[in-house]
Amino acid sequence: MKDFFKSLLASILGCFIVLGLFFLIIFVSIAAMSFSSLSSTDTYTLKDNTVLTLKLEGELLDRVEEENPFLALLGQASDSQLGLDDILLSIKRAKENDKIKGIYINAGMFQASSASLKEIRDQLLDFKESGKFIVAYGDVYTQGCYYLSSLADKIIMNPQGNLDLHGYAANPMFYKGLLEKVGIEVQIFKVGTFKSAVEPFILDKMSDANREQVSSYLGDMWSTLTSDISASRNISVEKLNQFTDSLVTFKKAEQTIQYGLTDTLMYETGVKEYLKTLLKVDDVKDVRLASIKNISSVPSLKESNSGDVIAVLYAEGSITDGSGKDGITSKRYMKEIEKLKDNDKVKAVVFRVNSPGGSAYASEQIWKAISDLKEKKPVVVSMGDYAASGGYYISCNASKIIAQPNTLTGSIGIFGMFPNAEGLTKKIGVSFDVVKTNKYSDFGDLTRPMREDEKVILQNYIERGYDLFLTRCSDGRGIAKDSLDNIAQGRVWTGKQALEIGLVDALGSIDTAIEEAAKLAKLEDYSLSSFPKKTDFFESFLSNQKEELTTKAMKEYLGSDYQFFKTLKEIKDQDFVQARMPYDVVVR
């Protein structure tokens, strides 16, 4: 009888646990579907006298996933992120719709790279052809936001604000001294005079070759920025450089008007009154400010219903092996590319690449998938901020390559890094011994330095990898291998420089790439579809809560040092053989 009651109680408890889990799953499912339903039905009703507000705040990515509502409920709402695709789409919608009278640029602390800023600026210039107004306001104009705002019909600054024009700088971090202190030696194997990604681990400052290439591409990027501002503000490039070198824009706000950099000073509260006069309405309540999200949800007046599709495949981040959703993972993208190849509705593909590279092996796998796709339909690469090293590897065999003038590309070269922790183990009093059956049984042992014969084997392996990289680029670009080697060697080029040496076919935006894809596919009418498809709320909740929460906690705890932590994590996760730009080149 005693055992009977034990079994009965255990069964009842088990039933309660199962029922509890069942109801929890139902609750989560209903909540997720409710959030998703609310999101999908929350459409914006466009009215007359609407002004698109480009609130430039936070980090810019090519695309952002939909907000995960459960993170907000847990007090872990995502950091402010803007999608370049949403910004460009909202500007297009604003141009074509007569209810939208203009654009208001609200400049804030905006983290965006040079080529993405150029992409937005070109779209704003296209908008201006409609005859509608653009007004810009900033409490403080960062260099990037001022670059965008410089084409506005009226540039307004807070009377207590300032305008930051300081030029471009790259500040690589070097770890050699730290590694020596802890007793770790990094053994380097590379091909390419300019392949500088290994320098932080073996030097304490830039090599002469690296300094040469960085000076070259920074100067070219700065030339693009100052030329565009000069054309919009009618200020000579020489004058702009004088202002930059003396930091005069950090002085009194009134002087920015005197120098022709801004038009008027006004507090933000007065901007809506100014917009009222432009719209010719009697009450500020009749000035309707719509967000990027609002306007990008408004249906296009020119949207095609064609069954012929041009697919835009977004690839952003480091290139790694595997099938995860963080960055460009080879197995995931091979599967996406295979689907596009077999989809008869897809007549051409625009491959949007925004990557500093990564695993050489994973890059080769994606290169093969793109090459197979190209045999069936045109593939046009649109390069974003970076399409360098592995990012160039996966691009090189496209039908056409389009880059922005200030895209960083090329960097054709590979390297391998192998740590030797013998110094560390001695410091902490640990020793190792070995018994082996063959000469190379302990090949790859981290607790000792490599023998010379092992170093020769690895260097030959790296050189074969470089030769394969050269072959892929030579075949894809139609440049003789020996000629290509002269412009490879790991050197980074801007898009403008890459056009001159044959690494890209034309300069332009993602729209330029789409137009080229339509031309190659002989399409007069087509619709656009983006891939990979964005993750919905429910899938996001089930798949990556732990990862998202951990990342946000680390960002909050480490602050600006999070980037260093991210760099170390990438080093740990990457393959031995890498085709990528330096981990820590930040252009600001």
pLDDT digits (tens, 9 = 90+) for 92-143: 999 999 999 999 999 999 999 999 999 999 999 999 999 999 999 999 999 9
User: pLDDT tens across 17-35, in order?
Assistant: 545 555 555 555 545 555 4
Residue 322 lies in a domain: yes
**What backbone torsions phi and psi does residue 441 show, to the nearest 5 degrees?**
-60, -35
Across the range 466-493, mean pLDDT stands at 96
Which of 276, 296, 316 is the last residue in one of the domains? 296
Give the model's confidence band at 225: pLDDT under 50 very low, under 70 low, under 90 confident, else very high.
Answer: very high
Name the residue with tokens 């900033």. 138
Question: Do 492 and 399 share a structural domain?
Answer: yes
Residue 401 lies in a domain: yes
User: pLDDT tens across 526-582, in order?
Assistant: 999 999 998 765 555 555 555 555 555 555 555 555 555 555 555 555 566 777 776
Question: Do 349 and 268 share a structural domain?
Answer: no
Across the range 54-62, mean pLDDT stands at 95
Most confident of 163-167, 296-300, 533-537: 163-167
DSSP string covering 476-545? HHT--HHHHHHH-TT-EEEHHHHHHHTS-SEE--HHHHHHHHHHHTT-SS-EEEEESPPPPHHHHHHHHH
* Residue ranges making up the domain that contains 508: 306-415+449-563
Question: Do 352 and 270 share a structural domain?
Answer: no
| SS3 (DSSP) at 136 | strand
Q: How far apart are CA 23 and CA 29, in angstroms?
A: 10
Structure tokens that stand for 90 in this block: 């909202």
- % of the chain with per-residue pLDDT over 70: 82
Question: Do 488 and 406 share a structural domain?
Answer: yes
Question: Do 370 and 336 share a structural domain?
Answer: yes
In this structure, of 78-92, 126-140, 343-357, the range with the lowest mean pLDDT score is: 78-92
Which of 271, 296, 321 is the last residue in one of the domains? 296
Across the range 224-233, mean pLDDT stands at 98
Residue 194 lies in a domain: no
Question: Do 280 and 353 share a structural domain?
Answer: no
Task: Estimate the crossing angle of helix 114-128 against helix 208-233, to 10 degrees.
Answer: 20
pLDDT of residue 543: 52
Cis ω for the linkage preceding 582 (within 30 of 0)? no
Residue 149 lies in a domain: yes
| DSSP letter, residue 170 | B
β-strand pairing of 408-410 with 492-494: antiparallel
Contact between 65 and 540 under an 8 Å Cβ cutoff? The reply is yes
Cβ count near 480 (within 10 Å)? 10
Question: Do 461 and 360 share a structural domain?
Answer: yes
Give the model's confidence band at 15: pLDDT under 50 very low, under 70 low, under 90 confident, else very high.
Answer: low
Contact between 346 and 311 under an 8 Å Cβ cutoff? The reply is yes
Question: Do 327 and 280 share a structural domain?
Answer: no
232 or 560: which carries more pLDDT confidence?
232
| Torsion angle of C-alpha atoms 231, 237, 239, 241, degrees rounded to 10 | 130
Sheet holding 414-420, edge to edge: 185-191, 414-420, 577-580, 357-359, 319-320, 328-329
Question: Do 269 and 377 share a structural domain?
Answer: no
What is the pTM (predicted TM-score) of this model? 0.87
Q: How far apart are CA 9 and CA 574, in angstroms?
A: 52
Buried b / exposed e over 545-579, threshold 16 CB at 10 Å, is eeebeebbeebeeeeeeeeeebbeebeeebbbbbb
Give the model's confidence band at 243: pLDDT under 50 very low, under 70 low, under 90 confident, else very high.
Answer: very high
DSSP string covering 73-126? HTT-PPPPEEEHHHHHHHHHHHHH-TTEEEEEEEEEEEE--HHHHHHHHHHHHH
Catalytic annotation, pick one of 318, 330, 359, 389? 389
Residue 85 lies in a domain: yes
Q: Is 400 a catalytic residue?
A: no
For residue 485, pLDDT over 90 is answered with: yes
Question: Do 320 and 401 share a structural domain?
Answer: yes
Question: For the chain, what is the mean pLDDT?
Answer: 87
Question: Do 257 and 110 share a structural domain?
Answer: yes
pLDDT of residue 75: 46
For residue 3, pLDDT over 70 is answered with: no
Contact between 99 and 44 under an 8 Å Cβ cutoff? The reply is no
Which of 276, 295, 312 is closest to 127 using CA atoms?
295
Give the model's confidence band at 8: pLDDT under 50 very low, under 70 low, under 90 confident, else very high.
Answer: very low
pLDDT of residue 572: 53
Question: Do 468 and 322 share a structural domain?
Answer: yes
Q: Across the chain, which distance is largest between two alpha carbons, in Å?
A: 98
Name the residue with tokens 């902490």. 428
Residue 173 lies in a domain: no
Tell me the CA end-to-end span of the chain in Å, nearest whole number: 78
Single-letter amino acid, residue 499: L
CATH number of the domain enclosing 85: 3.90.226.10
Q: How far apart are CA 134 and CA 382, in angstroms?
A: 27
Name the residue with tokens 């656009």. 528
Q: How many domains does the chain have?
A: 2
Q: Is 389 a catalytic residue?
A: yes
Give the model's confidence band at 192: pLDDT under 50 very low, under 70 low, under 90 confident, else very high.
Answer: confident
Q: How far apart are CA 207 and CA 78, in angstroms?
A: 39
Q: How far apart are CA 141 and CA 150, in angstroms?
A: 10
Residue 372 lies in a domain: yes
Catalytic annotation, pick one of 95, 101, 195, 496? 195
Residue 508 lies in a domain: yes
pLDDT of residue 45: 87
